[in-house]
Chains A and B, each alone.
Chain A
Amino acid sequence: MDISLQQVEYRYQANSPFERLAIQNVSIDIPSGTYLAIIGHTGSGKSTILQHLNAILRPTEGKVVIGDREVTNAKKQKNLKEIRKRVGIVFQFPEHQLFEETVEKDICFGPMNFGVSEADAKVRARKAIKQVGLSEEILQKSPFDLSGGQMRRVAIAGVLAMEPDVIVLDEPTAGLDPRGRKEIMDMFYQLHKERNLSTVLVTHSMEDASQYADQIVIMHQGQVYKKGTPREIFHSPDGLIELGLDVPEVVRFQQKLEAAFKTKLAKTCITLDELTDEIDQLFKRGEPK
Chain B
Amino acid sequence: MMEKMIFGRYIPAESPLHRMDPRSKILLVFLFVCVVFIANNAITYGLLAVYTFLMVLSSKVPIRFILGGLRIVLWLVLFTLVLHLFFTKEGDVLFQWGSISIYEGGLKQGIFISVRFFLLILMTSLLTLTTTPIEITDGIEVLLDPLKKIKFPVHELALMMSISLRFIPTLMEETDKIMKAQTARGVEFSGGPIKDRVKAIIPLLIPLFIGSFKRAEELATAMEARGYRGGEGRTKYRQLRWGFVDTVMLLILAFVTAALVLFRS
Contact = CB atoms under 8 A, between A and B. Distances in A.
Interface in A1-40: 12-13, 15-18
A88 B186 CA distance: 10
By secondary structure, the B interface counts as helix
A16 B3 contact: yes
A109 B186 CA distance: 9
A109 B202 CA distance: 12
Interface residues of A, number: 28
- Among B183, B187, B202, B207, chain A packs the most CB atoms within 10 A around the CB of B183
Contacts of B3: 12-13, 16, 18
Nearest to B64: A15
Interface in A225-259: none
B211 interface: yes
A109 B206 CA distance: 14
Nearest to B62: A17
B210 A144 contact: yes
Given A17-B65, A96-B211, A99-B207, A81 B177 contact: no
B181 interface: yes
A110 B207 CA distance: 16
A113 B187 contact: yes
Interface string A216-227: 000000000000
Interface in A41-94: 51, 54, 56, 81, 84-85, 88-89, 91, 94
Nearest to A14: B3
A159 interface: yes
A117 interface: no
Given A51-B180, A99-B207, A110 B185 contact: yes
Contacts of B178: 96-97
B203 A109 contact: yes
Contacts of A99: 202-203, 206-207
A169 interface: no
A162 B185 contact: yes
A54 B185 contact: no
B177 A91 contact: yes
Interface string B127-158: 00000000000000000000000000000000
A87 B78 CA distance: 41
Interface in B3-19: 3-4, 11
- Among A51, A89, A97, A114, chain B packs the most CB atoms within 10 A around the CB of A97
Given A94-B181, A96-B177, A16 B186 contact: no
A172 interface: no
A56 B183 contact: yes
A139 interface: no
B181 A16 contact: no
- Among A54, A81, A98, A113, chain B packs the most CB atoms within 10 A around the CB of A113
Contacts of B4: 13, 16
Given A13-B3, A17-B65, A91-B177, A81 B188 contact: yes
B180 A91 contact: yes
A269 to B, nearest CB: 37
Contact of B185 (A15, A16, A96, A159): A159
Contacts of B265: none
A174 B39 CA distance: 59
A277 B45 CA distance: 86
B202 A56 contact: no
B182 interface: yes
B186 A113 contact: yes
Contacts of B46: none
A51 B188 CA distance: 16
B167 to A, nearest CB: 16
9 contacts: A12-B3, A17-B61, A56-B184, A84-B183, A96-B178, A97-B185, A97-B203, A97-B207, A113-B186
Interface of B: 3-4, 11, 61-62, 64-65, 68, 174, 177-178, 180-188, 202-203, 206-207, 210-211
Interface of A: 12-13, 15-18, 51, 54, 56, 81, 84-85, 88-89, 91, 94, 96-99, 109-110, 113-114, 144, 158-159, 162
Given A16-B62, A84-B184, 7 more contacts: A16-B68, A17-B11, A18-B3, A84-B185, A88-B184, A94-B181, A99-B203
